[in-house]
């Protein structure tokens, strides 16, 4: 019955354009140039919560706003960057080829500061001719760029061009082993929409996660995200509650029912697929997407978030293991005494900057060092943070923290020791050094 009502609702909205038109923003002609300029100021320099709202409003205004933004965007990447991420994110919604001509060089410039916003802008309404160009960004170091690219390709592949619809599926399947769980979940949902409902078992795995990165509840966040994604597909969660641990009696029962439900859905969808693509999604969830065991004895942490080089979650444990990532992280054995030596460098870094815990200015690039407090080995770990905005800050990091950062980078084993098939460990030392360099400046080479 509910399905019938939904069907009627969809039909009604499709047949009555006036209904949805009423939900549109006030017609553009009611906005004066001054009002548009005021919205632009809000979108550039309002508070973090106002910027996206102002940009969204500009996007709904249409041509008058587009003309003004086009004049501001200029012709160089430097001028485009000055618009800021909120405005850049909506440029692709104006359906103006001149904006795409500005956005593409930014997408292809690894040093452009707002590439996640650029990628989402381009993904809003991608053009068929951009298929090949987009595909290369599925391996981008920045997860939000990979995510937006996946969305863009999905949109293009569903435009009725059968010749293109086929290659999208293997591309999405490859993202099921992405190092970022958000990208994996999106790939799973997109594959479900193309009849590969087995991919939803990736979300079932996320519902069972309890992992943390120190005090950051990464597993709980994954449970919410997976639950939301399944509910958006109208899949009843059988009473599963994301805020409760998956081990509770009610959640265990719910997970059992849900597994049956998803397997039934997978079998039904696969039965309709051609033989050639039926087994495209692996029968078992790969290790990178599975629930991980606990991480014991983590004493040091390095979290790098770079808008140019991607994110890195590293931990060093008492028993000299390097833990890479979260969820079911990669674990690499280090030479004995490595963590102890790094902890000595961490003590020195704290003693050189007594009481100071933050350097820099607000922005999306961040280095976070976690370490035991000097003289208080059993207290909660100390966290030292550097952050910066889009402007270069080569001398941001104090010398003692650079020494610690260099030691941390140097402790990462060489590529011949690491698993090259794991996206988290592939060329890890080089990538971590690159992320350091893009945030607080380079650390010493090995």
Partner 1 sequence: MPFLVLLLLIGGVIAAPGVLLDRSWKVGGQVQAAMERGEAPSNEVVEVSILRLKNARYRKGRSLPEWVQELDGKKISLWGYMAIGTLEGLGEFELVPESCECGKSKVNHFVQVTLDDDVTRFIPGRITLVGTFSCGEVEEDGFITSVYRLSTDQLP
Q: Which residues bind partner 1 (CB under 8 A)?
A: 2, 5-13, 15-16, 19, 42, 46-54, 85-86, 116, 215-217, 220-221, 224, 227-228, 231, 237, 239, 241-244, 305, 307, 357-358, 362-364, 366, 368, 380-385, 387, 389
Identify which of residues 52 and 193 has a Cβ nearer to partner 1 in the complex. 52
Dig out the tokens for 160 from the structure.
């009725």
- Looking at the DSSP bridge assignments, the partners of residue 360 are 387
Helix axes 63-73, 97-108, angle to 10 degrees: 40
With CA atoms as reference, report the closest residue to 197 among 268, 287, 290.
268
Identify which of residues 195 and 246 has a Cβ nearer to partner 1 in the complex. 246
- Looking at the DSSP bridge assignments, the partners of residue 216 are 213
Q: In what order do the strands lie in the sheet with 310-317?
A: 330-333, 321-324, 310-317, 298-306, 365-371, 382-388, 358-360
- Cβ 373 vs Cβ 381: under 8 Å: yes
Dig out the tokens for 83 from the structure.
């618009």
User: Minimum Å distance from CB 224 to partner 1?
Assistant: 4
User: Minimum Å distance from CB 217 to partner 1?
Assistant: 7
Identify which of residues 27 and 239 has a Cβ nearer to partner 1 in the complex. 239
Residues 53, 18, 95: CA angle, nearest 5 degrees: 50
* 171 phi and psi angles, rounded to 5 deg: -65, -40
User: Minimum Å distance from CB 210 to partner 1?
Assistant: 13
Counting Cα atoms < 13 Å in the Cβ hemisphere of 329 gives: 24
Identify which of residues 187 and 242 has a Cβ nearer to partner 1 in the complex. 242
- Cβ 443 vs Cβ 433: under 8 Å: yes
Identify which of residues 102 and 221 has a Cβ nearer to partner 1 in the complex. 221
User: Minimum Å distance from CB 54 to partner 1?
Assistant: 7
User: Minimum Å distance from CB 446 to partner 1?
Assistant: 28
Dig out the tokens for 278 from the structure.
């039926």
User: Minimum Å distance from CB 74 to partner 1?
Assistant: 21
Identify which of residues 54 and 334 has a Cβ nearer to partner 1 in the complex. 54
User: Minimum Å distance from CB 141 to partner 1?
Assistant: 16
């Amino acid at each position: 019955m509910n399905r019938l009502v939904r069907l009627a609702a969809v039909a009604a909205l499709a047949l009555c354009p006036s209904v949805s038109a009423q939900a549109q923003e006030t017609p553009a002609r009611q906005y004066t140039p001054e009002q548009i300029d005021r919205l632009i100021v809000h979108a550039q320099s309002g508070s973090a919560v106002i910027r996206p709202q102002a940009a969204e409003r500009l996007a709904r205004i249409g041509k008058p706003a587009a003309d003004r933004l086009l004049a501001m965007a200029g012709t160089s990447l430097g001028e485009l960057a000055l618009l800021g991420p909120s405005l850049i994110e909506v440029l692709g919604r104006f359906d103006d080829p001149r904006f795409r001509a500005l956005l593409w060089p930014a997408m292809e410039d690894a040093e452009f500061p707002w590439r996640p916003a650029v990628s989402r802008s381009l993904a809003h309404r991608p053009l068929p001719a951009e298929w090949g160009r987009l595909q290369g960004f599925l391996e981008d170091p920045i997860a939000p760029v990979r995510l937006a690219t996946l969305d863009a390709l999905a949109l293009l592949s569903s435009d009725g061009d059968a010749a293109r619809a086929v290659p999208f599926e293997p591309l999405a399947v490859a993202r099921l082993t992405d190092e970022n769980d958000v990208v994996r979940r999106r790939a799973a949902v997109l594959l479900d929409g193309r009849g590969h409902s087995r991919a939803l078992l990736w979300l079932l795995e996320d519902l069972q996660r309890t992992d943390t990165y120190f005090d950051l509840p990464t597993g709980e966040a994954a449970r919410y995200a997976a639950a939301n994604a399944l509910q958006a597909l109208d899949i009843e969660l059988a009473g599963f509650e994301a805020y409760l641990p998956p081990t509770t009696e009610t959640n265990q029962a719910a997970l059992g029912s849900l597994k049956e439900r998803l397997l039934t859905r997978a079998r039904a969808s696969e039965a309709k697929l051609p033989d050639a693509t039926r087994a495209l999604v692996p029968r078992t969830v790969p290790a990178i997407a599975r629930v991980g065991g606990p991480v014991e004895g983590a004493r040091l942490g390095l979290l790098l978030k770079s808008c140019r080089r991607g994110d890195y979650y590293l931990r060093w444990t008492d028993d000299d293991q390097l833990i890479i990532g979260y969820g079911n992280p990669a674990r690499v054995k280090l030479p004995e005494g490595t963590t102890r030596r790094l902890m000595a460098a961490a003590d020195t870094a704290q003693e050189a900057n007594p009481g100071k815990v933050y350097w820099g200015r607000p922005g999306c690039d961040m280095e976070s060092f976690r370490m035991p407090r000097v003289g208080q080995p059993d207290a909660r770990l100390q966290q030292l943070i550097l952050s910066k905005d889009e402007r270069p800050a080569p001398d941001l990091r104090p010398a003692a923290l650079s020494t610690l950062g260099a030691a941390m980078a140097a402790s990462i084993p060489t590529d011949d020791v690491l698993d090259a098939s794991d996206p988290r460990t592939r060329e890890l030392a080089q990538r971590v050094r690159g992320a350091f360099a893009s945030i607080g400046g380079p650390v010493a080479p090995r």
